């Protein structure tokens, strides 16, 4: 049975994500980003964690650290088993929506980045709900669930969005490759796509690895430092892509 408390917790889990996305959207000049297209990326982003669950179902040991060396085990787990897996799935979702769109190649760089971020936003919303369900199944108290969502809204959600911005930057660059030689053009596009997945996975892995280390008293402090660093990078990326988009729009007009 759905209770009013559960509804408010669900709203608390989703609203900050929508607010963060809106703030990024408002940074871009008017009509540079299509909200209609953004919704399509958001919807598939919402569904994308099911691929993570599928991987865990097919490979039950994938979600557990494997190496005998404790530090190396955590590094592999944070950067490969979690970070790279989730970022690859986010890219797959982004690619799938783009594959169904005829006008994808006309997206401005800032729009490409925003759609990548919206895929990450959808992933973060579903992940938040999954954590809520898990907490409820473990008979967590209401105040514990609220604290969980507050923590995730202030840290994990922002981390996912930063990963989306980082990946979106390289995806935008992949669409700006205009080499006349077909093979060279294709190789450079693929190079930027892999760079996007790699750097997003690296940031994701650093964030997760911080929480896996046995120094819980400092994890919150380090996570804030990591996120501030990521937000600075994100702001630089957004400003750069806006500038490129303005130049392209002016050139076309």
User: What distance in Å separates the CA atoms of residue 177 and residue 167, rounded to the nearest whole number?
Assistant: 16
- Tokens linked to 109: 């760089």
Digit-coded pLDDT (tens) for 144-172: 777 777 777 778 889 999 999 999 999 99
Helix (H, G, I), strand (E, B) or coil at 28: coil
pLDDT for the residue numbered 2: 46
Q: Identify whether the C-beta of residue 157 lies closer than 8 Å to the C-beta of residue 131.
A: no
Predicted TM-score of the model (pTM): 0.90
Q: Look-up: residue for tokens 């690859």?
A: 88
In this prediction, residue 35 has a pLDDT band, given cuts at 50, 70 and 90, of: very high
The chain-wide mean pLDDT, for the chain, equals 87
Q: Identify whether the C-beta of residue 87 lies closer than 8 Å to the C-beta of residue 163.
A: yes
Q: Which residues contact residue 236 at a Cβ distance below 8 angstroms, ignoring those fewer than 6 apart?
A: none
Q: Which residues contact residue 229 at a Cβ distance below 8 angstroms, ignoring those fewer than 6 apart?
A: none
User: What distance in Å separates the CA atoms of residue 202 and residue 133, rounded to the nearest whole number?
Assistant: 28
Q: Identify whether the C-beta of residue 168 lies closer than 8 Å to the C-beta of residue 115.
A: yes
Q: Identify whether the C-beta of residue 152 lies closer than 8 Å to the C-beta of residue 220.
A: no
Q: Identify whether the C-beta of residue 34 lies closer than 8 Å to the C-beta of residue 111.
A: yes
């Amino acid at each position: 049975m759905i209770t009013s408390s559960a509804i408010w917790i669900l709203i608390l889990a989703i609203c900050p994500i929508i607010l963060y996305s809106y703030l990024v959207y408002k940074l871009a000049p008017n009509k540079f980003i299509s909200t209609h297209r953004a919704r399509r990326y958001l919807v598939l982003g919402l569904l994308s964690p099911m691929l993570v669950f599928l991987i865990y179902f097919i490979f039950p040991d994938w979600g557990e650290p494997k190496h005998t060396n404790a530090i190396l085990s955590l590094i592999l787990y944070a950067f490969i088993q979690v970070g790279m897996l989730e970022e690859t799935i986010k890219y797959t979702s982004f690619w799938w929506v783009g594959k169904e769109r005829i006008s994808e190649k006309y997206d401005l760089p800032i729009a490409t980045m925003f759609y990548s971020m919206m895929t990450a936003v959808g992933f973060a919303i579903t992940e938040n709900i999954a954590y809520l369900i898990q907490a409820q199944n473990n008979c967590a108290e209401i105040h514990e669930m609220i604290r969980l969502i507050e923590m995730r809204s202030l840290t994990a959600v922002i981390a996912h969005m930063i990963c989306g911005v980082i990946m979106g930057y390289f995806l935008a660059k992949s669409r700006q490759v205009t080499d006349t030689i077909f093979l060279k053009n294709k190789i450079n596009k693929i190079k930027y796509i892999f760079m996007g997945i790699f750097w997003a996975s690296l940031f994701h892995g650093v964030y997760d690895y911080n929480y896996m280390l046995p120094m819980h008293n400092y994890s919150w402090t380090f996570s804030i430092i990591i996120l501030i660093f990521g937000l600075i990078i994100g702001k630089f990326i957004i400003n750069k892509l806006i500038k490129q988009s303005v130049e392209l729009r002016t050139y076309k007009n």
